[in-house]
Structure 1
């Protein structure tokens, strides 16, 4: 037996032959316990739209093996040789058009913070609950916010990837990053992750109400309405990713809830990147085709995004409208995401309370 473990004093015998620990140092911080954390996590945002910040953000995003599944030997030369030398300037210019200049941040950060604050107020009667927010890419990082929750005494944490439809490139990578942090901790909190809610009645109803209210304020009636989801490569779908199925089910349930005839609501996919084939039909091409075919009034919304961001404000509300008008369309409207509206917050609260069951 190691000499350091042998009993040499009478006091050691009471400890079963092991030496007792002495008192902790006087400056040792007290350990806080008894709290329950909720961490809202969205995709991410650069800290600024300048080239340096854009490059840093894009590098973190595009080196995620869940996002780009190509072998590193093939992808990294392209990424570091071409993409990160050209795309930061282009993406930065796009971000600049939607930037929240008052707070000097992207709309996604502004809205996600507000969602966190409003959810905290909705759960305020549960004094043990602490609500926080973070980003998968950029700041505040998932690790930093989990550490902050632990420091406040959270022994149980609900991680909420803010994606109604599941994909390995979104929901799974958030969970990966959370558990990557937890793997480094000696004292690990109990953790629950919020599952996809693409077919949940409260989510479908919130979307329907937001659409009905928006269309009721227009001076025209759209002949077609596009539900535009972020795309993924077809190869990911072929490997078993359920994302396409989740999107189709959301659209089907929504059309039923709205009472629309078949063919009025179209499901499309946007934001493709690289040479691979992505889920179709493509949103931009569909907008152009509809205008050429004589559709004069069009509405587009983004049910896969819980907060307006670059892909909704610049790509759809901006570029989408330009494509429609250039091809003969007359009236175009973008229906905002649920954001921190009453309906959107009801969805988030419902999902969180469900996962907090038994903890509060």
Structure 2
């Protein structure tokens, strides 16, 4: 009887499923970008950005009346005008979207030999969203995903926000993929060398020698640092290592912090005030670069390349140069691929 039951069970068993090639996804994640420079697009983008509790840590009862009553009614027009100055009109998008897409495409080509790695890109604010790209990777069979927040130095308001948003998207899934997130890399030798090489290559194109190099990082409120955010120390570490690599002392290369917002005291010295004061101190030639930005964006191209340069010249400065970010150059891709390959070990 047992033999008969076994025979019946064997004949009724479903056919074995064909083995599926499991894939590993890589998601490059940058800050975000508006879809256009018009008021509605800017307001939608700023609303998502400024409602992030890791960006603005004030209580909602205090912040929301300011945000919805003043900021979102006045800032979109001003920000839209700034974006219009740097907009990639050929592709109708911001430079950040252009560069991030290119980085993703180049990384995909660089990892193509693995055969089972899928590379995609997302934005923390705006499109494509982290949740949409996570879904896209899962639909392509990715059971393991490396998330790469594109910030060399860690801050709760950047890397922390990306990781939280990714976790929110994962929590909606029944079958969660395995996740690795690339940590901050403020002291990675490949990153430091890439920055140094980009600076050296830029300098040979100049007809002047900068008296001072300003490493301008995006600022955060001092209160965030006091509560344990390691961002400030990591920025200073990057500058220190870059000084050593280029053979500069503390007077030739300094750190400063830009893009402050609101009434709080932010990390100092402030980039704008530092650059405005330089001509009064006899500094007539300066080079500014942004080691905390993986790709050029509004804060680098316009705030530094346009506004800071104009302020420097208006106050008596003579020679100003903005050194582009690593972007999708060979140096930039060397850093990105190096860090991704490190995290892929054991998975592919």
* TM-score w.r.t. length of structure 1: 0.92
Residues 336, 21 of structure 1: CA spacing in aligned structure 2 closer, same or farther, 3 A cutoff?
A: farther
Aligned length: 338
Show structure 1 runs of 5+ residues with no match.
Answer: 1-9, 15-19, 24-29
Show structure 2 runs of 5+ residues with no match.
Answer: none
**Contact 1:31 1:153 (8 Å CA) reproduced:** no
**Contact 1:306 1:338 (8 Å CA) reproduced:** yes
**Contact 1:32 1:152 (8 Å CA) reproduced:** no
Counterparts of 1:47-66 in structure 2 under 5 Å?
47-66=35-54
CA RMSD of aligned residues (A): 1.7
Q: Offset of 1:32 from its aligned partner?
A: 6.2
Distance between the aligned counterparts of 2:183 and 2:220, measured in 1? 19
Asked if residue 199 in structure 1 is aligned to residue 198 in structure 2, the reply is no
Segments ≥4 residues shifted beyond 4 Å: 20-23, 30-33
Distance between the aligned counterparts of 2:65 and 2:280, measured in 1? 40
Distance between the aligned counterparts of 2:152 and 2:165, measured in 1? 19
Counterparts of 1:30-69 in structure 2 under 5 Å?
34-69=22-57
**Alignment match, 1:223:** 211
Asked if residue 264 in structure 1 is aligned to residue 220 in structure 2, the reply is no
Asked if residue 112 in structure 1 is aligned to residue 100 in structure 2, the reply is yes
Decide which of 199, 206, 210 is 1:211's aligned counterpart. Answer: 199
Residue 216 of structure 2 aligns to a residue in which SS?
strand
Residue 125 of structure 1 aligns to a residue in which SS?
helix
**Alignment match, 1:156:** 144
**Alignment match, 1:81:** 69
**Contact 2:21 2:116 (8 Å CA) reproduced:** no
Distance between the aligned counterparts of 2:175 and 2:13, measured in 1? 19
**Alignment match, 2:171:** 183
Asked if residue 103 in structure 1 is aligned to residue 91 in structure 2, the reply is yes
Distance between the aligned counterparts of 2:84 and 2:215, measured in 1? 25
Distance between the aligned counterparts of 1:255 and 1:242, measured in 2? 20
Residue 114 of structure 2 aligns to a residue in which SS?
coil
Distance between the aligned counterparts of 1:70 and 1:105, measured in 2? 32
**Alignment match, 1:310:** 298
Decide which of 238, 248, 253 is 2:226's aligned counterpart. Answer: 238
Distance between the aligned counterparts of 2:299 and 2:73, measured in 1? 21
* TM-score w.r.t. length of structure 2: 0.95
Distance between the aligned counterparts of 1:134 and 1:33, measured in 2? 24
**Contact 1:294 1:328 (8 Å CA) reproduced:** no
Q: Offset of 1:22 from its aligned partner?
A: 10
Q: Offset of 1:187 from its aligned partner?
A: 0.5
Per-residue CA deviation, residues 244-300 of structure 1 (Å, 9 max, x unaligned), is 000000000000000112310010000000000000000000001112211111100
Asked if residue 248 in structure 1 is aligned to residue 236 in structure 2, the reply is yes
Residues 65, 33 of structure 1: CA spacing in aligned structure 2 closer, same or farther, 3 A cutoff?
A: farther
Asked if residue 278 in structure 1 is aligned to residue 238 in structure 2, the reply is no
Residue 206 of structure 2 aligns to a residue in which SS?
coil
**Alignment match, 2:280:** 292
